[in-house]
Structure 1
Amino acid sequence: MSKSYTPPLSPLYSRSGHHQWLNQERQRLLDFSRASRLASGGFGPLDAKGELIEGATASTMITTRMTHCFAIASLEGIPGAHALAKHGVDALLGLLQDTEHGGWYDDEKEIGKGDKQAYIHAFVALAASSAEAANIPGGHQLMEQVITVIDSHFWSDAEGCMRESFSRDWSTAEEYRGANSNMHSVEAFIALGDITGQPLWRLRALSIARQIIHLHAAHNQHAVVEHFEADWTPNREYNADNPVDPFRPYGLTPGHAFEWSRLLLNLEHSLLRYGEDTPGWLLADARQLFETACNTSWNVDGQPGIVYTVDWNEQPKIHHRMHWTLAEASAAAAALGQRTGERRYASWYRTFWDYIANYLVDLKHGSWHHELDRDNQPSALLWGGKADLYHAYQATLLPQLPLSPSLASAMRLRAQQHTNEL
């Protein structure tokens, strides 16, 4: 007698029970993160127990990312989220904005001094687009202002990418180009394209992806080159003497390859959605980025997890595990699974979420551990305390949505559809 056929299970990211778990986890993250609201304006960093650190002041990075997430939560119908998103927009239009020279400070401590960073301005653009999607008061004004700053200072038509940073008065530009700030600009530009209806933003996102991924990473075995000179010559020794720099670490950062992989698929589907020219390398490079990241970072030192950085010989440099790398890896696996239908990505998706549930989710104090050491114990080598919502929150939502439009626009469409059904 032949054995009975047992059909394969559907991918985890398509099951209703998993969606329910993701939704519950997203609500838990939201509830935890409300404590980062500062009465004086904006949002600040939390300690490992979820309390504002002593002397906390507003951080522009945290404020933008919290505003983005709370705007999406508002679209989802979460009580209190609208007011929290407005709290963030108000700080970005007031406290954290340089009213003399334009642009935004890194944080409240830098008011009246400090450089202007592309990384920060990319997140201001993302927050503004999400606030506009959610009809948060001031969102449209914020979006118009950040677009003006990007057009006037950061975007370079000649380079087809974002410049990295300037002095406060914009008189001096840094002789450095970074993949990280440009990666987050891709995310912001896709979102701006959805909100403004202007194809320019998708063309800019494609230009950045072509430069950093299709020209550089694709010729580096699809490991993402992070640091460049001003003429886009790779600088392989950048920060060799400071390998634990929290924003510009030495070597290769596999977590960014996962993040790029998903963003390339978001960009591909965004271009297709609007009937625009869509190069085939977006999918091909997304696949290869994922493969390289898995091969060079997952369980490569004998312990589960994704190592933070590797050197140019693909050997672990910083063994610590960052929560955001797992968030991005899971989202990339879901995106590739959705795009290709291949079950191998479903297997990776389960692997990543099993790790998140077993090691990162902090059931005692809330949220996720920001960082673990090579033995998967809580650590603070690079980042202490608890992270803002951004990476973990998005990881719970992305697998439940199509690859396009961008998050806030997708949630707005869902809210509109629910309204039409009433």
Structure 2
Amino acid sequence: MTETKSTLPKTNAGPWQRRPFHRQYLMRQANDLFDFFEAASINPKGGFFELDDEGFPLNEENSTRQIHVTCRMIHCAVIGSLLGRPGSDEIVDHGMQYLWHHHRDTKNGGYVWSLDDNGVVDGLKQAYGHAFVLLAGSSAKLVGHPLADQLIEDITQVINSRFWDEAAGAVREEFDTDWSPISSYRGQNSNMHLTEALMAAYEATGKEDYLRKAERIAQRIIRDNAVPLGHRVAEHFDENWGLDKSYKHENEMFRPSGTTPGHWLEWARLLYQLWVLGRKQHGWMTDAARNLFRTSIDLGWDNVHGGFFYTLDWNDQPAMREKLWWPVAEAIGAAAYISAYDHDDYFQTWYRKLWDFAENHVIDHDRGGWLSELKEDLTPASNLFVGKPDLYHALQACLIPLYPATGSLTQAIIEADHTERPVR
């Protein structure tokens, strides 16, 4: 794409990430998020609650536990443990026990989407959920959890035998409980999160096959599709990986129509991370990442009110005009990661602008956590999300800028612990 010059002012000094005050601010925000989510999220009957805006459990009497919520909390608790936050290891164990003994389908294999106190609520086998199982197991291995190795072995076998399509270099999307096919749909979101998980598994185990699969997915989703589409990430495909611009699904939260600028930002960071882990051999990844970031700003950012529109149509016009918390968080992480290698003022200027927006509009200073959804005019809303869904996106936005861009956040924390402390 043709790069446009930023109209934002030049940065007035070095990157914020190097400044002691900003680093203290980031760690304080991370700790506030831990304080809001960790203790309140623990369901004594197993798994984790989702929280309302005040930080109280939703549907406390018999809450539904979705697999991505279970796995993300495990991953975040591992981060807490690596940082040295007391109580984190018990949360890791609480989640791992529920994941292994309840989400895992001992009859048919694989992992069910959701359960409540009475058992399985939704037994579908989703690639999206299985990606997070691999992330949870890979993260748990870093803190020596006793179930981690067998979980990694099990989920790897399931992904390889049930989901992975070797010819396509990506995964199939979904199956019924007994593994009978339920659709020919192929989606980028599950593949994106599997790329994240495969990199974590590679770092945790050293097995190259995980890295090779991540690289193949990136080629399928980004190099083969997003780059020719002007660095717009297509979400929906048919069985043969033909682009489906007309796709509509009843669940607009997980499978929104059109394009989702937040995913372009998520891919921008993941591509840089993949480039680093791949020994910096694939130069196309960094070029694509920078252009994905710029395109998300050019097309997805609301120049009137601020914030990223949730979705755009294929004419690049806002379709769902809500502003969610997670694209802002992903943009912060991407800007920080790219800035570590590309010293163009554009990325550092946007890093600051994004934190300004988060501080003034998204962080809930009165009650804790980050507001999950804003209307176009930035007033709070609950059209797509109820309460404060998870810790994962916001926590990583706070911590990624504090650590070297040498791989995943968890590995960077481990490496920094052996060299120098990230916060003084």
CA distance in 2, matches of 1:280, 1:205: 15
Q: Which residue number corresponds to residue 99 of structure 2?
A: 92
What one-letter code is carried by the residue in structure 2 that aligns with 1:37? I
CA distance in 1, matches of 2:363, 2:122: 38
- Correspondence 1:11 to 2:15: yes
- Correspondence 1:111 to 2:111: no
Q: Note the 1:185-264 alignment, pairs <5 A.
A: 185-239=194-248, 242=250, 245-264=252-271
Specify which of 43, 46, 49 is matched with residue 41 of structure 1.
46
Structure-2 change in CA distance of 1:137 and 1:415 (3 Å): farther
Deviation at 1:416, TM superposition (A): 4.4
Contact 2:115 2:122 in 1 (8 A): no
Q: Which residue number corresponds to residue 357 of structure 1?
A: 359
* Post-superposition CA distance 1:56-111 (Å, at most 9, x none): 23221111000001011101100000110111111111122111111111111471
Q: How many residues of Structure 1 are paired with residues of Structure 2 in the alignment?
A: 407
- Correspondence 1:343 to 2:348: no
Which moves more between the two structures, 124-133 or 334-343?
A: 334-343
- Consecutive unaligned residues of structure 2, counting only runs of 5 or more, are 1-10
Deviation at 1:331, TM superposition (A): 0.9
- Consecutive unaligned residues of structure 1, counting only runs of 5 or more, are 1-6
- Correspondence 1:102 to 2:104: no
Tell me the secondary structure at the aligned position of residue 159 of structure 2. Answer: helix
Q: Which residue number corresponds to residue 381 of structure 1?
A: 383
CA distance in 1, matches of 2:310, 2:404: 29
Q: Which residue number corresponds to residue 4 of structure 1?
A: none
CA distance in 2, matches of 1:417, 1:348: 29
CA distance in 1, matches of 2:378, 2:25: 23
Q: Which residue number corresponds to residue 20 of structure 1?
A: 24
- Correspondence 1:397 to 2:399: yes
Specify which of 279, 282, 299 is matched with residue 279 of structure 1.
282
Q: Which residue number corresponds to residue 193 of structure 2?
A: 184
Contact 2:114 2:122 in 1 (8 A): no
Which moves more between the two structures, 397-406 or 103-112?
A: 103-112
Deviation at 1:31, TM superposition (A): 1.0
Q: Which residue number corresponds to residue 176 of structure 2?
A: 167
Q: Which residue number corresponds to residue 333 of structure 1?
A: 335
Deviation at 1:42, TM superposition (A): 0.8
* Post-superposition CA distance 1:177-223 (Å, at most 9, x none): 10100000110011111111111111111100111101101111111
Tell me the secondary structure at the aligned position of residue 231 of structure 1. Answer: coil
What one-letter code is carried by the residue in structure 2 that aligns with 1:145? D
Specify which of 291, 294, 299 is matched with residue 294 of structure 2.
291
Tell me the secondary structure at the aligned position of residue 108 of structure 1. Answer: strand
CA distance in 2, matches of 1:59, 1:401: 30
* Post-superposition CA distance 1:27-75 (Å, at most 9, x none): 1101111211111111121111110012323221111000001011101
CA distance in 1, matches of 2:261, 2:420: 39
Q: TM-score, normalised by structure 1?
A: 0.93
Contact 1:61 1:107 in 2 (8 A): no
Structure-2 change in CA distance of 1:246 and 1:113 (3 Å): closer
- Correspondence 1:61 to 2:68: yes
Which moves more between the two structures, 329-338 or 136-145?
A: 136-145
Contact 1:70 1:82 in 2 (8 A): yes
CA distance in 2, matches of 1:158, 1:314: 32
Q: Which residue number corresponds to residue 157 of structure 2?
A: 148
Deviation at 1:409, TM superposition (A): 2.1
Tell me the secondary structure at the aligned position of residue 405 of structure 2. Answer: coil
Tell me the secondary structure at the aligned position of residue 319 of structure 2. Answer: strand
What one-letter code is carried by the residue in structure 2 that aligns with 1:16? P
Specify which of 388, 408, 411 is matched with residue 409 of structure 1.
411
What one-letter code is carried by the residue in structure 2 that aligns with 1:383? F
CA distance in 2, matches of 1:112, 1:253: 28
Q: Which residue number corresponds to residue 78 of structure 1?
A: 85
CA distance in 2, matches of 1:416, 1:121: 32
Structure-2 change in CA distance of 1:377 and 1:144 (3 Å): same
What one-letter code is carried by the residue in structure 2 that aligns with 1:61? H
CA distance in 2, matches of 1:359, 1:8: 24
CA distance in 2, matches of 1:411, 1:147: 25
CA distance in 1, matches of 2:234, 2:123: 27
What one-letter code is carried by the residue in structure 2 that aligns with 1:81? S
Contact 1:60 1:120 in 2 (8 A): yes
Q: TM-score, normalised by structure 2?
A: 0.93
What one-letter code is carried by the residue in structure 1 that aligns with 2:25? W
Q: Which residue number corresponds to residue 136 of structure 1?
A: 145
Percent of residue pairs identical? 39
CA distance in 1, matches of 2:393, 2:317: 26
What one-letter code is carried by the residue in structure 2 that aligns with 1:310? L
